[in-house]
Amino acid sequence: MASHAKSGLKAFTVPVSNPTAAQKPPAAPGNILYPRKRFLSQNIEINGVTRINAWVDSMRASSPTHLKSTPSLAEDQSSWMLHHPSALQMFEQIIDASKGKQIVMFLDYDGTLSPIVDDPDRAFMSDKMRVTVGNLAECFPTAIVSGRCRDKVYKFVRLAELYYAGSHGMDIKGPEKGSKHKKASESVLCQPASEFLPMIDEVYKQLVEKTKSTPGAMVENNKFCLSVHYRCVEEKKWSELAQQVKSVVKEYPKLRLTQGRKVLEIRPTIKWDKGKALEFLLESLGFANCTDVFPVYIGDDRTDEDAFKILRDRGQGFGILVSKFPKDTNASYSLQEPDEVMDFLQRLVDWKKLSQGNPEC
């Protein structure tokens, strides 16, 4: 397992997971997990054995546009909402549950703080959202946890007082600027996949070359992991793209493939994900063994499930899934879109200011 020093720069040894082992987590007690085949298929495991058809099926299943509006879907939706109610509607209950505890906020970026757009380089968050997140960070320790390269997500968010975990948590850094939630002497840096950098660069070049014949495909270098976007690829070309990606990745048994929203993600097989990043950050903030901490993680994607699961297993705080559609999730609550996320964050800020009787928090 990773060894964490209490403060300062941290050295890590992270074991390589068995890339062929099943990744599906057991259901947490009390959690309603919907049958995956109805909503989402599982992460793709490569290594020669997985059929291309299975990849394409999985790519289709993760595209909500394929869920046609039917009476049975409406039924699914209302039943799902019963088990994952709106975090806005449940705001008072959420606040009650957090009483006497330190709230710590974890926010995914794409699809959570910024709307999903065709061009990943133009996924800007609104100024209003930036102000809200800035206010939130004044009130609570706040981290951005993203699949993107840390520098890139920082350029979008531009708030120096936050913690940032890029590359699906494989690149964590503490606030640039003094934060009241961070002791001045402590610098936090965690890069458990450093040894994979040359391999990731090599695979990036190969993927760019291999996929250039597929119109609309785009490979994004997220430093410790890679994204192959197919949002702008015609569906009839998905199988071709999957073949191209597979032909490259199969030569690298130390890399694995997971899936996000119209994106294939290639990353090291180390046992590190957004859930581990969340635990690392809680520890860095001094909440390792605290019972009076209340972490809230908001995210929209499959990779956020690792963090939702950790919170469920720890029995601390909870996850909020951002989705308009029923999805198999370990989150407890839901919000439909980034605008609702912003309203929820603003309510937290307002509540905190009111409860402290201090407009500056």
Residue 108 makes contact with ligand L263DTV3 by CB under 6 A = yes
Residue 229 makes contact with ligand L263DTV3 by CB under 6 A = yes
Residues in contact with 127: Cβ distance below 8 Å, sequence separation at least 6, in sequence order? none
Residues in contact with 360: Cβ distance below 8 Å, sequence separation at least 6, in sequence order? 138, 353
Residue 244 makes contact with ligand L263DTV3 by CB under 6 A = no
Burial (Cβ within 10 Å: 0-12, 13-18, ≥19) of residue 102: middle
108 is catalytic: yes
Query: Closest approach of Cβ 208 to ligand L263DTV3, in Å?
Result: 14
Per CB under 6 A, the list member of 2, 54, 90, 116 interacting with ligand L263DTV3 is: 116
Q: Which span sits near ligand L263DTV3 by CB under 6 A: 6-14, 75-83, 222-230, 324-332?
A: 222-230
**Cβ-based neighbour number of residue 251 at 10 Å:** 10
DSSP-assigned beta bridge partners for residue 188: none
Q: Scan residues 283-342 and list those touching ligand L263DTV3 (CB under 6 A).
A: 301, 303
Q: Which span sits near ligand L263DTV3 by CB under 6 A: 106-114, 170-178, 209-217, 316-324?
A: 106-114
Query: Closest approach of Cβ 109 to ligand L263DTV3, in Å?
Result: 3
Nearest to 193 by CA among 300, 284, 120, 266: 266
The strand pair at 226-229 and 263-268 is best described as antiparallel
Per CB under 6 A, the list member of 75, 92, 118, 292 interacting with ligand L263DTV3 is: 118
Position 123: which residue type? A
Residue 140 makes contact with ligand L263DTV3 by CB under 6 A = no
Residue 238 makes contact with ligand L263DTV3 by CB under 6 A = no
Position 38: which residue type? R
Nearest to 10 by CA among 19, 2, 18, 1: 2
Residue 58 makes contact with ligand L263DTV3 by CB under 6 A = no
Residue 208 makes contact with ligand L263DTV3 by CB under 6 A = no
CB closer to ligand L263DTV3, 118 vs 350: 118
CB closer to ligand L263DTV3, 260 vs 295: 260
> Are the beta carbons of 141 and 104 closer than 8 angstroms?
yes
Residue 231 makes contact with ligand L263DTV3 by CB under 6 A = yes
Tokens of 244: 């191209």
Residue 279 makes contact with ligand L263DTV3 by CB under 6 A = no
Catalytic one among 57, 76, 96, 108? 108
Per CB under 6 A, the list member of 141, 147, 169, 268 interacting with ligand L263DTV3 is: 147
Q: Scan residues 161-180 and list those touching ligand L263DTV3 (CB under 6 A).
A: none
Nearest to 23 by CA among 259, 227, 192, 246: 259
* DSSP for 298-334, written as a single string: EE-SGGGHHHHHHHHHHTSSEEEEE-SS----S-SEE
CA gap 201, 71 in Å, rounded: 47
> Are the beta carbons of 302 and 24 closer than 8 angstroms?
no
Residue 235 makes contact with ligand L263DTV3 by CB under 6 A = no
Per CB under 6 A, the list member of 220, 273, 305, 328 interacting with ligand L263DTV3 is: 220
Buried b (16+ CB within 10 A) or exposed e, 148-177: bbbebbbebbebebbbbbbbbbbbbbbbee
CB closer to ligand L263DTV3, 276 vs 352: 276
Tokens of 219: 């490979």
Number of residues that bind ligand L263DTV3 (CB under 6 A): 24
Footprint on this chain of ligand L263DTV3 (rule: CB under 6 A)? 108-111, 116-118, 120, 123, 146-148, 220, 222, 227, 229, 231, 260-263, 265, 301, 303
Which residues are marked as active site? 108
